[in-house]
Amino acid sequence: MKAAIRLDSGGDVSLKPGETSNGSVAWSYPRDGAHMSTPIVYGDYLYNVRWNGVLNCYNARTGERICQKRLGGGSTGFSASPVAGDGKIYFPSEDGDVFVVKAGPAFELIATNAMGDVCMASPALSKGVIYFRTKSHVAAVAAAR
């Protein structure tokens, strides 16, 4: 389940059966939640990749699903959480491919970068560098200076 909890909420914020919103919950979806990875809000949108690579983009305020696309061919898992920066969102797959998606309401796959190794760890960002940890290596990627 995915749910957007209002910032001024407190106490019990649970939904009754059949409800998708209430005074504490702005919106929710009972299905299509992430299995392992953490959804990410970037700009006005919430991005959620399921274990099988199905990526959903929602309006973060209303919960309206903007688009749904599959990353990869459906044969790899997604357990690492995505990170975002510079208008892009990075989704590592367990097979070691990093899918770079342009942030925004229209799906645009910018690149698929093969790390060449199993990747189950979430990337890290620091001072303009993105770090990827695979089963056997750590890679740091930054713009040329």
Look at the alpha carbons of 120, 134, 58, 73 in this order and tell me if their dihedral is positive or negative: negative
Domains with residue ranges and CATH for the chain: 1-31 (no CATH), 35-142 (2.40.128.630)
* Contact of 87 with 108, CB cutoff 8 Å: no
Edge to edge, the sheet with strand 129-133 lists: 124-126, 129-133, 138-142
pTM: 0.87
Backbone angles phi, psi at 102, to 5 degrees: -70, 130
The encoded tokens of residue 19 equal 């409800």
Res 32: pLDDT = 66
With tokens 């690579």, the residue in question is 53
The encoded tokens of residue 65 equal 């699903």
Per residue in 65-83, pLDDT (tens digit) is 999 999 988 788 999 999 9
